[in-house]
Structure 1
Amino acid sequence: MVRKTHDVIGEVILNELISSRPKTPPLTTTPSVTDSFCTYLMETMKNLPNNIKIQWEGDILALVFAAKKSTVQKI
């Protein structure tokens, strides 16, 4: 039986920690918007509390997907 050194054990533990760590998300950037409605939404939402932003984002996405679904069904 071969006895592992502290360096080998430490390296194995470090590699396991690195591989189990979630991937770092990309840095957030400010989107460049040319649509006046999108600009209006961004300006309206920028000073709101996060919980309200999240709720509004969900509502807006639901409206977009509902509109898209109705458009697809008409085609």
Structure 2
Amino acid sequence: MDLQPQREFLIKLSNTKMPFGKYKDRYLIDLPEHYIVWYHNKGFPKGVLGQQLQTVYELKVNGLEYLIRNIKKL
């Protein structure tokens, strides 16, 4: 099984900033949990940004944000 696409997705996620709104230019992993939960209830945007926000939601719910922060340090 090729893990390269998943690895690239997480690396890109660690360096992606919110492109619009109240939290524009904040790293996705650093968005407040209530904002991510709001998106979860409202519906994530389509496309890559939506996939990234959904991943951030799953990471935050499971207490795994440190994984992305560790990637960002590299």
With normalisation by structure 1, the TM-score equals 0.25
Structure with bigger gyration radius: 1
With normalisation by structure 2, the TM-score equals 0.25
Q: Which of structures 1 and 2 has the larger relative contact order (alpha carbons within 8 angstroms, sep 6+)?
A: 2
